[in-house]
Structure 1
Amino acid sequence: MKRSLAHRFAGLRRRAEAGMTTAEYAVGTLAACAFAAVLLAVVRSGGVKSALAGIITTALRTAG
């Protein structure tokens, strides 16, 4: 029994969309890792470290 052209095309389209979903997850994961790396670099910078230390020190003095 032969399948119709429309039926075969629908099967191809479903397989193509399944691969696109995987690619979208890969791009999203890569973007999240890049954002985490940038955020880590910012937090490790001297200015941010001193600001966070100041906030923590002030909070501990206020609480004690």
Structure 2
Amino acid sequence: MEDPAVAVGLAIHFARISLAQRIPLPAVIIELLARRVEEGDAACRMVAEWLDDCGLLDLKPLPTRNRRAR
């Protein structure tokens, strides 16, 4: 899957299920999103940060130059 929008959509879909049923995100979804974050996709990074805030993802610290200001 080359389109980052697919990764974003799947991550959000499975996050909603995971939050409702209190189950972890599927590893394949985490891997798909992580690849796009490593490529520098801003939308995927934002979703990864949201998942981290929700406790569904253990986000490694991003390099300072790539982090967005909060």
- Pairwise same-fold verdict (TM > 0.5): no
Q: TM-score, normalised by structure 1?
A: 0.30
Indicate the structure with greater helix content.
1
- Larger RCO: 1 or 2 (CA < 8 Å, sep 6+): 2
Using the size of structure 2 for normalisation, the TM-score is: 0.28
